Amino acid sequence: MKPNQQLETSKKNQIQNMFNAISIEYDFLNKLITFGNDIKWRKKVYTIAKENSPKNILDIATGTGDIALELANIEGAKIIGLDISEKMLEIGKKKITNQNLSDKIDLALGDAENLSYSNGSFDIITIGFGVRNFQNLIKGLNESKRVLKENGKLIILESSVPKNYIIKFFYLLLSRAYVPFLGLVFSKDKSAYRYLQKSAETFPSGHAFVEILKNCGFKNILTQRQMFGAVSIYIAEKQS
């Protein structure tokens, strides 16, 4: 789905404008939306990535760079954080400079669906809350696979919908009221938070997303559900 169905502009263009518009408040509102659990989830992504002792990591849809910053704790790893929103990257760049991590993390403006890197460039690719914003999900996943090394891992952190009916009922009640409410109170772009909530609800999750990864040719796919299934971490390998 697009942030604004009435506009004829492409989803990519709308997403880029939307994240440029909400970049200043993004980190603060992200904490409120996730009840501060985002820190814990990023640490899990870091722990999974570290297992492979990666040297080259690409963090796609890096936004303000929080996953890239966490990955910088992996000894000997170099991280590229890529995003289509220059305003999100501007905030990320400030954090990296403040933490003296410019020699470990490089932030680059670029599109997940048209990566400029050669085949087999990265040991690990991470994508945090990014895939549901891709214009062409399959193209984005195939590009990730292309630039991953053989046996490399793709780690995706994404919103999902709880399976249990009772938990799902409370999840929908909370997210349909709480996320748009936060947007209404704290943001100039209220429609952005309606889109973020709706896209989280409608994006394929769990088994459906695993099937998509399988169809793209990924192997050994694991799912780790977080916060009663409101968020999932998918780990998929590139193997011929």
Ligand X SMILES: C[S@@+](CC[C@H](N)C(=O)[O-])C[C@H]1O[C@@H](n2cnc3c(N)ncnc32)[C@H](O)[C@@H]1O
Contact footprint for ligand X (CB under 6 A): 12, 15, 19, 30, 60-63, 66-67, 82-85, 88, 111-113, 128-130, 133-134
Nearest residue (CB) to ligand X, 138 versus 239: 138
**Residue 131 DSSP code:** G
Rounded to 5 degrees, φ, ψ at 229 are: 90, 10
Distance of closest approach, residue 30 Cβ to ligand X, in angstroms: 6
> In 3-state terms, the chain is what percent helix, strand and coil (to 5)?
50, 20, 30
Distance of closest approach, residue 127 Cβ to ligand X, in angstroms: 7
* H or E element in which residue 210 lies: helix 207-215
Nearest residue (CB) to ligand X, 137 versus 219: 137
Residue partners of 203: CB distance under 8 A and separation at least 6: 131, 132, 158, 159, 160, 209
Distance of closest approach, residue 227 Cβ to ligand X, in angstroms: 15
Residue partners of 202: CB distance under 8 A and separation at least 6: 1
Q: Which residue is nearest to ligand X (CB)?
A: 63
Nearest residue (CB) to ligand X, 89 versus 236: 89
Nearest residue (CB) to ligand X, 108 versus 220: 108
Distance of closest approach, residue 126 Cβ to ligand X, in angstroms: 8
